Amino acid sequence: MRVSIKDIAREAQVSHSTVSRALSDSPLVSAGTKARIQQLAREMGYSPDAQARSLVMGRTRTVGVVVTTITDPFIAEVVQSIENTAYDYGYSVILTSSGSQSKREIAAVEMLQSKRVDGVIVTSSRVGALYQGLLERLEVPIVLINSHRRQASPSTFSVNVDNRHGAYIATKYLIGLQHRRIGYVGGRTHHSDDQERQAGYCEALARANIDFDPQLMVPGNGRASGGERALPHLRVLADPPTAVLCYNDMTAVGLMRAAREMGIVVPDELSVVGFDDIPFASYVMPSLTTLAQPKAEMGRMAMRMVLSLIGDERAENIDKANVVVKGRLIVRESSGVLTHSGAHERAVARNT
């Protein structure tokens, strides 16, 4: 049988309210009985029932985290940071994944509502009108990480990477390496982050007086297969690109795989730059130059923003706003100065 404060009360010959006070370290209990009760509670293996407490307190100290899939390495890092931060503040995390299916999005929101979470964090989703409406009906703070949404709302805030800036920096870097024919392989079209990255890419070209060539911009899908399929479209051009910026690292990885199969040497013949800096970016070969998103920081900020919106004093100095954080370029091996040497010479040279 599970032991409750009543059981302790009986054992200690006091009322259950005294036990409750003693266990919450209230000053309204004599030091003696307090110590005695706390000791007893330990001995009896008492564990407070969070549900009963929440029922009367009106707070669960629980947040819901909604992801598309936790197997996405970017999302996993963000979630890890959310969980760590939640732990620091005495909160726990209910994890739900939607697989981008609206049926599961709906189920997730309903379940989080029934569980009476104090706040919700949504990561990397396209938040449709229906979904957003659902979320807002929860009447708890909502923080969206890298998620596009229709419109602002009083209780919904966001933490986003500066997509435009990131793509701008990355493209500018490639231009600095003398590249003039720079491709862009996108994510899913109509996703706002893809569009923003496109915009940053175009802006960098424009500032360097490089004509934008729509042929150099091909769509992907945010996964490796997108990059893999994109490369042939670029190589078939009369004047193919010498460098490619990819929507994200997985796209870049797929593109590099295609390059290898086509016998194109990266970075000698083609520079490749990704976006995200997933852990694997440094382990692919060649290792991937990429625009790193501050994933841990974003998770931490989102969690603290939720706390702040809930009214937790410990996080009151946190911005309650739509925060935009800047990424930074991490230069690795997949990018290099434009050269005119062929692959063959290079490969031989490397092995002598």
Partner DNA sequence: TTGTAGGCGTTATCAC
Partner DNA sequence: GTGATAACGCCTACAA
Give the footprint of DNA on this chain (CB under 7 A).
Answer: 2, 4-6, 13-18, 20-21, 23-24, 28-30, 32-34, 46-49, 52-53, 55-57
Q: Are 206 and 171 in contact (CB under 8 A)?
A: no
- Using CB distances below 5 to 8 A depending on partner kind, what does residue 253 bind out of DNA, a copy of itself, none? a copy of itself
CB of 113 to DNA, least distance (A): 10
CB of 268 to a copy of itself, least distance (A): 11
Residues 6+ apart with CB under 8 A from 134: 105, 106, 109
- Using CB distances below 5 to 8 A depending on partner kind, what does residue 80 bind out of a copy of itself, DNA, none? a copy of itself
60: nearest Cα among 83, 105, 26, 93: 93
Work out which of 35, 102, 110, 129 binds a copy of itself, going by CB under 8 A: 110
- Residues 21-50 binding a copy of itself (CB under 8 A) are 45, 47-50
- Using CB distances below 5 to 8 A depending on partner kind, what does residue 60 bind out of DNA, a copy of itself, none? a copy of itself
Rounded Cα distance between 276 and 247, Å, is 9
Rounded Cα distance between 219 and 290, Å, is 19
- Residues 222-251 binding a copy of itself (CB under 8 A) are 224
Amino acid letter, residue 153: S
Work out which of 35, 130, 321, 347 binds a copy of itself, going by CB under 8 A: 347
Largest Cα span, the chain: 90
Residues 6+ apart with CB under 8 A from 101: none
Work out which of 28, 35, 111, 237 binds a copy of itself, going by CB under 8 A: 111
- Using CB distances below 5 to 8 A depending on partner kind, what does residue 155 bind out of DNA, a copy of itself, none? none
167: nearest Cα among 276, 282, 302: 276
Residue 157 CA, distance from chain mean position: 15
Rounded Cα distance between 115 and 110, Å, is 9
- Using CB distances below 5 to 8 A depending on partner kind, what does residue 28 bind out of a copy of itself, DNA, none? DNA
**Site track for a copy of itself across 256-285, x = CB under 8 A:** xx--x--x---------------xx--xxx
- Residues 281-320 binding a copy of itself (CB under 8 A) are 283-285
Rounded Cα distance between 182 and 246, Å, is 10
